[in-house]
C-alpha cells in the first residue's frame, strides 16, 4: 500500500512528523501533488502557521511476522 508521510521543517531546519496518509484512491488520475498538499493543509488547519512542508511517498509492507513497516519511495518539498 502506498502512503505519504508529511513533515514540517522548523527554523533550525529540523524535521517534525505531522502525520501519515494512506493512499486509498484507485483512480491514479486523482492523485496529484496539489491533492496531497491539500490533505496536509486540512490536517493542520489554517491557524497552524506551518508553511514549510515536505512529503515522503512510502510503501507499507507487511513482514512475515505480521508487522507493517515503511519503505521510502520518494521525497518532495511541497
Residue 22 Cα distances to 40, 66, 69, angstroms = 12, 18, 13
pLDDT in tens, 17-71: 888 888 887 777 777 878 887 777 787 776 676 777 888 888 888 888 888 877 8
**Could you report how far apart the first and last alpha carbons of the chain are, in Å?**
22
Query: Which helix (H) or strand (E) is 76 found in, with range?
Result: strand 68-77
Residue 77 has pLDDT above 70, yes or no: no
Amino acid at each position: 500500500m502506498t502512503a505519504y508521510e508529511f513533515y514540517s521543517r522548523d527554523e533550525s531546519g529540523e524535521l517534525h512528523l505531522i502525520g501519515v496518509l494512506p493512499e486509498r484512491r484507485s483512480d491514479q488520475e486523482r492523485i496529484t501533488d496539489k491533492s496531497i498538499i491539500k490533505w496536509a493543509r486540512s490536517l493542520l488547519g489554517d491557524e497552524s502557521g506551518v508553511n514549510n512542508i515536505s512529503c515522503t511517498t512510502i510503501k507499507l509492507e507487511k513482514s512475515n511476522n505480521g508487522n507493517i513497516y515503511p519503505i521510502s519511495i520518494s521525497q518532495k518539498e511541497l
